[in-house]
Structures are given as structure tokens and as C-alpha cells.
């Protein structure tokens, strides 16, 4: 009475490859820690613990379990294979719930492994003293278990069966001609072993009760059911505890498994495949680790700049430039009036840092100046010149300063929240749950710290407006000459008027272009000073706007750095962990992932 016995195409399990796959599962767990809910990782954690214990125990033993329902003859088959009466036979529910173990070889060598499996010492027996032939010697290293009935009315029996089925190396399912199509057997057990086909055997026991033709029909029908269960590679054979010759094929199969020492490795490989398949829904398509697009970063930087008061500071920069230009080279009477006006920087409680004069501001990165926004990760002016300017104006040795920028309006807060949410939505658009939710949480994780960080960054990054270009001093010299001419003319007229009043002199003033020279000096000095002021006003306006552009660039670079650290960096960390988890899962499944660059 024979069935399908050979495992065609079985490959020798590679210990190194198995360990690599287990390591990949461990890498996945590290990457998913804190992101994927713990209840979805229980199977993976259990696998690593069980695999580590099994590999650390005995590699020289093969643990085979006989599993079956009540009345299938499982215990009788156990006794027949042992050639001893060891396990009690029951025909009524509930039968004994104890697990019996028979070891072919020294019992003490298998002790740690049996302790791990959970077989009580009083239920362990050694076959070594009863070895009576070469056929038994070839089973040296076999540990045969007789499990409780999986359909027992006692819940503790079923729980124990489920636990042991996850620990043994090879499972021999014992079915009888009456119940081999039982739904509980197929739905709850056999179909769950579809990824463990290499360590599963199904035997049709009590075949001695059937005619040979009936045995063949039952085996064919059993084969059909197993194919439907996804177990096409599982061997099927007929056995009988009462006919020793009917055990020959099963005995031969056990000898091959013991000799190959592959059952434990194949079982663990199947467990890895099963766990990896269960985790497959946690990853999706490849996503670049820098999948934070420039548009999102630009929107974030604009919102941060508005929140930090950059537009107000830029406007103050332009006004301060004009005021200080007028104070240096403006018409002298106007300078006195300027002193009565508050300095724009003082109104914002900002001070200039004299480390970098405005004349050097044009050396910022051209690309950043053209775009007016950060590129990539949000680093505006990321070129050497731009970064040098940032380093010069944001030294960590300078203490942070609180600014007098107007408080943030609700609309600005809303715009910032929308920018952060938009960046997170775009970065996590292709990610499955729970990774997309993790990206959103990461983007918002440090929002509470943003105001202080922006204030510190802006306080360290106030562009210098105290520098005086050389052309200012040329214009200032002209203004002083014009003022001196006007003053000299005034003094000359005053002295002349006094002398005429005292009748000390009646001499006429020298003439210049039809006007008395003192009058010409006064008029020329006043008009000359005003003319210089009028002619320089467009130049000063242009230079003030350039100063505002440089201030905007530097301040935006500062707030972009804050955005990169507080928003973009946490998002990229989640994306990096997703890429690691995806690669690790692909390695655990034995395939090479496509990585997005």
C-alpha cells in the first residue's frame, strides 16, 4: 500500500542563507520599531526567538511529531514505530493530553531540546537500549513525539498541539479512512502549513481495514484535497500499525530525514517564508529616501519665513539702509531730521553684526539668488559662498537673541500647518499604512519647538547694514564741500552786512555769473547738496533693494536650515527606515528589492 513519497526537487537547506534571512527579519523589526503596531510584529518576534533557541540547541536531532485526530490510530502508529508499547491508545474523547517522546540515541543528549519543547522527563524514553538492527541504527538522532488529539474536547490539549506544531522539525499528519476529509484538519491546520510542505507528511492510517482498490481511491482523493490546500509537494502514503510491512515507506522516509539533518533547517526556512509573507502588506513600492520634493520644501520655507517675520525684517533692512545712507551722505539739514526717527532695526530689537559688510553680500550663491528659495533639503545658498556667509553670520558662539518681530497671526500659523502637512502628504503618498501616518507624525513631531528655533536662527542671522561702501564717503565729501560752500557764503554775507552796518566798508562783493560771490556760494552749496541727494536717491533705492534681497536670502537660508532640521530631517528618517525595512523584507523572502534612487 503505497502513495506519493518522493520530494522532487528538494534543495539542501543552506544554514548561512537561513541565518541571513533571519538576520533580515531582525533588521526589518529594527526599522519598523515604533512605526508598525506591535501586534503585527508578534509572529516575527516569536520566529526570531524560536529560531535562535532551535539553532542553539541540538543540530544532531530531528524532531518528528505524529499529529492527528481522535481515533486516527496515531498512538498505535507511534507504538508500532517504536516497536514498544509506550503511548496509551484511546478511542474516546478526551484522550490523554500528555506528550510522549521517544529518542533514538542517548536520552541525556536530547535533554535540553526536550526541555525546550516541553516534554516532561517522565514521558521521555530512549530507544538506544532496544536497538536491534541496522534499520533502527539509521534512525539515531530521531526524536518522535506523540501529540494530543487536535480535536480534543479539552481546550488545553488543542493549545498544546498548536504550540508544539510551531516547534517541531517535521510533522506527520495521521488520518484515517473515515475522517481524512475533515474540515477542521484541512481548514485550521493543513492549509496553514502550505509554506511548510517540505516538512509535512500525510499518512492514511488503518489501511489494513480497506481493500487495495479502496486504499488507492482514498489516497487519490486525499491527494486531491492536499493539492487544493496548496500542499502539492507533500508526500502521502498508506500505513497500518498492525502490519509491519505497511510501515516500511514511513520508516524509510524518517531514515532519510534523519540522515539529511535538514528537517529543522527546512522548518525554519518555511517559518521565515511564512512570516515574511505576513509582513508583505507592510511595505509597498520603492520610495526614494530624499523624496521630499523641492516644491514642498519651498512652500515650507516660505511659511517658515513668514512665521519668523522675514518679510518685516527685509523691509526693515531696506529702510535701515536708506536711513543710514542718508545719515552718511544726505543733505545736512535732512540728517538732523533723520536723527529724530527711530531706527527700523531698533524697532525690531535687532542689532547688526559687523562681521560681514554689505559689499560682500553679492557673493552669495547665484543659484540661490535666482531661485530665492532653498534647493533639495531646503538649504538656500548651498554653494560655498552662501554657506560661508551662513557660517559667518550664524556662529554658534553668539548667544541667541529674542526679536521684536510682530507675533504670528492665525493665518500664518494655518499656512505653516498646511505647508508641513503638504510636505508630509507628498513624501508619504506612495507609502502604505502605517508608514504614511509615521511620515505625518514625523513632520509634525517638532512643531512646538519651531518658534524658539526660528527666533534663535533669525537672531543669529541678522544681515549687517552698518557697513559703509566707499562711494558713500565720496558722496559724503561732496555734501560736506557743498555745505562748507553754503556756510562760507552765509558767513561772508553776514560779515559784509555787519561791516556795512558799522560803515566800516562799502566795497562790493565779487561777482560770479552775475551774482555776488557769497550769494553764489550759498545758493550753489544749498542747491548742490540737494542735487546730490536727488541724484543719489535712485542709486540708494537700488542698493537698498539689493540689501533687502541679500537679507531675504540669508534669512531664508537660516529658516530653511530650521525647516530641514525640524521637519524635513524627521521625514527623511522615516523614509530611510522604510527603505531599510523594504530591503530587509526582500532579503528575508529571498529576493532582491528594487531600490529607488
Q: What is the pLDDT of residues 338-380, one digit of tens each?
A: 666 665 655 554 544 333 333 333 333 333 333 333 333 333 3
522604510: which residue's cell?
Answer: 578
Please give the residue that has the higher pLDDT: either 497 or 363. Answer: 497
Same domain, 250 and 317: no
Same domain, 242 and 325: no
Same domain, 517 and 561: no
Mean pLDDT across the chain, nearest whole number?
Answer: 79
d(CA 420, CA 44): 34
Same domain, 166 and 183: yes
pLDDT > 90 in the chain, percent: 28
pTM beyond 0.75: the answer is no
CATH of the domain at 77: 3.40.50.300
Q: What is the predicted pLDDT for the residue at 170?
A: 93
d(CA 80, CA 93): 22
142 is a domain residue: yes
Q: Which three cell numbers stand for residue 212?
A: 487495495
List C-alpha distances in Å: 398 to 54, 310, 393.
Answer: 59, 20, 9
Average pLDDT for residues 548-564, to the nearest whole number? 90
Considering Cα of 153, then 156, then 162, then 167, what sign does the dihedral take?
negative
Same domain, 250 and 372: no
The range of the structural domain enclosing residue 446 comes to: 294-468+547-588
584 is a domain residue: yes
Whether residue 89 is predicted with pLDDT greater than 50 in this model: the reply is yes
The residue out of 211, 237, 261 marking a domain boundary is 261
Same domain, 477 and 455: no
Same domain, 350 and 411: yes
Do you find a cis peptide bond into 230, omega within 30 degrees of 0?
Answer: no
Same domain, 204 and 318: no
522527563: which residue's cell?
Answer: 121
Reduced to 3 states (helix: H, G, I; strand: E, B; else coil), residue 462 is coil
Same domain, 462 and 396: yes
Query: What confidence tens digit (pLDDT) does each residue in 116-157 have?
Result: 999 999 999 887 654 455 667 888 899 999 999 888 878 888
The residue out of 209, 236, 261 marking a domain boundary is 261
Paired with 202 in beta bridges are: 173, 236
Q: What is the predicted pLDDT for the residue at 357?
A: 32
Q: How far apart are the first and last CA of the chain?
A: 59
365 is a domain residue: yes
CA neighbor of 356 nearest in space, from 462, 455, 456, 458: 462
CA neighbor of 419 nearest in space, from 289, 570, 561, 305: 305
d(CA 449, CA 459): 16
Same domain, 493 and 377: no
The structural domain count of the chain equals: 3
Kindly give, in sequence order, each residue whose CB lies less than 8 Å from that of residue 174, ignoring residues fewer than 6 positions away.
Answer: 66, 67, 68, 72, 73, 74, 77, 203, 205, 239
The residue out of 209, 243, 261 marking a domain boundary is 261
Amino acid at each position: 500500500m503505497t502513495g506519493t513519497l518522493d520530494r522532487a526537487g528538494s534543495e539542501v537547506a543552506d544554514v548561512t542563507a537561513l541565518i541571513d534571512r533571519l538576520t533580515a527579519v531582525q533588521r526589518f523589526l529594527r526599522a519598523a520599531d515604533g512605526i508598525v503596531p506591535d501586534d503585527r510584529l508578534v509572529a516575527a518576534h516569536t520566529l526570531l526567538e524560536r529560531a535562535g533557541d532551535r539553532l542553539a540547541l541540538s543540530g544532531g536531532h530531528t524532531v518528528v511529531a505524529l499529529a492527528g485526530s481522535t481515533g486516527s490510530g496515531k498512538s498505535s502508529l507511534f507504538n508500532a514505530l517504536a516497536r514498544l508499547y509506550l503511548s496509551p491508545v484511546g478511542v474516546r474523547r478526551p484522550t490523554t493530553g500528555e506528550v510522549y517522546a521517544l529518542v533514538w540515541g542517548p536520552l541525556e543528549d536530547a535533554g535540553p531540546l526536550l526541555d525546550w519543547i516541553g516534554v516532561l522527563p517522565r514521558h521521555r524514553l530512549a530507544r538506544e537500549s532496544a536497538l536491534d538492527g541496522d534499520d533502527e541504527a539509521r534512525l539515531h538522532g530521531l526524536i518522535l513525539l506523540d501529540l494530543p488529539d487536535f480535536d480534543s474536547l479539552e481546550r488545553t490539549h488543542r493549545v498544546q498541539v498548536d504550540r508544539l506544531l510551531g516547534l517541531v522539525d517535521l510533522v506527520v499528519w495521521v488520518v484515517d479512512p473515515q475522517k481524512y476529509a475533515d474540515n477542521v484538519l484541512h481548514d485550521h491546520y493543513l492549509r496553514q502549513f502550505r509554506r511548510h510542505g517540505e516538512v509535512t507528511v500525510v499518512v492514511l492510517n488503518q489501511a489494513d481495514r480497506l481493500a487495495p482498490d479502496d486504499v488507492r481511491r482514498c489516497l487519490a482523493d486525499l491527494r486531491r484535497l492536499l493539492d487544493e490546500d496548496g500542499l502539492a509537494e507533500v508526500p502521502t502514503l498508506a500505513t497500518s500499525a498492525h502490519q509491519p510491512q505497511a510501515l516500511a515507506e514511513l520508516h524509510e522516509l524518517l531514515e532519510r530525514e534523519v540522515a539529511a539533518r535538514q528537517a529543522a533547517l527546512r522548518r525554519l526556512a518555511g517559518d521565515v517564508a511564512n512570516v515574511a509573507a505576513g509582513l508583505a502588506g507592510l511595505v509597498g513600492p520603492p520610495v526614494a529616501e530624499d523624496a521630499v520634493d523641492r516644491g514642498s520644501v519651498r512652500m515650507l520655507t516660505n511659511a517658515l519665513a513668514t512665521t519668523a517675520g522675514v518679510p518685516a525684517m527685509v523691509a526693515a533692512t531696506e529702510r535701515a539702509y536708506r536711513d543710514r545712507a542718508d545719515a552718511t551722505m544726505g543733505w545736512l539739514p535732512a540728517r538732523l531730521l533723520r536723527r529724530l526717527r527711530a531706527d527700523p532695526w531698533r524697532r525690531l530689537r535687532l542689532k547688526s553684526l559687523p562681521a560681514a559688510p554689505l559689499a560682500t553680500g553679492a557673493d552669495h550663491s547665484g543659484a540661490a539668488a535666482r531661485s530665492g528659495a532653498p534647493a533639495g533639503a531646503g538649504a538656500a545658498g548651498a554653494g560655498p559662498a552662501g554657506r560661508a556667509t551662513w557660517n559667518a553670520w550664524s556662529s554658534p558662539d553668539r548667544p541667541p537673541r529674542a526679536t521684536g518681530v510682530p507675533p504670528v497671526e492665525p493665518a500664518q500659523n494655518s499656512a505653516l500647518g498646511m505647508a508641513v502637512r503638504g510636505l508630509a502628504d507628498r513624501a508619504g503618498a506612495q507609502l502604505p499604512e502605517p508608514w504614511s501616518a509615521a511620515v505625518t507624525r514625523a513632520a509634525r513631531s517638532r512643531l512646538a519647538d519651531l518658534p524658539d528655533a526660528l527666533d534663535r536662527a533669525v537672531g543669529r542671522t541678522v544681515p549687517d547694514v552698518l557697513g559703509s561702501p566707499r562711494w558713500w564717503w565720496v558722496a559724503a565729501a561732496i555734501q560736506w564741500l557743498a555745505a562748507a560752500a553754503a556756510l562760507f557764503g552765509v558767513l561772508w554775507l553776514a560779515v559784509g552786512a555787519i561791516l556795512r552796518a558799522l560803515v566800516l566798508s562799502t566795497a562790493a562783493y565779487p561777482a560770479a555769473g552775475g551774482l555776488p560771490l557769497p550769494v553764489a556760494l550759498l545758493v550753489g552749496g544749498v542747491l548742490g547738496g540737494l542735487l546730490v541727494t536727488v541724484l543719489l536717491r535712485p542709486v540708494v533705492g537700488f542698493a537698498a533693494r539689493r540689501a533687502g534681497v541679500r537679507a531675504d536670502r540669508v534669512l531664508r537660508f537660516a529658516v530653511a536650515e530650521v525647516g530641514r532640521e525640524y521637519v524635513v530631517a524627521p521625514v527623511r528618517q522615516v523614509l530611510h527606515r522604510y527603505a531599510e525595512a523594504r530591503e530587509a523584507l526582500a532579503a528575508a523572502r529571498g529576493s532582491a528589492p528594487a531600490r529607488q534612487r
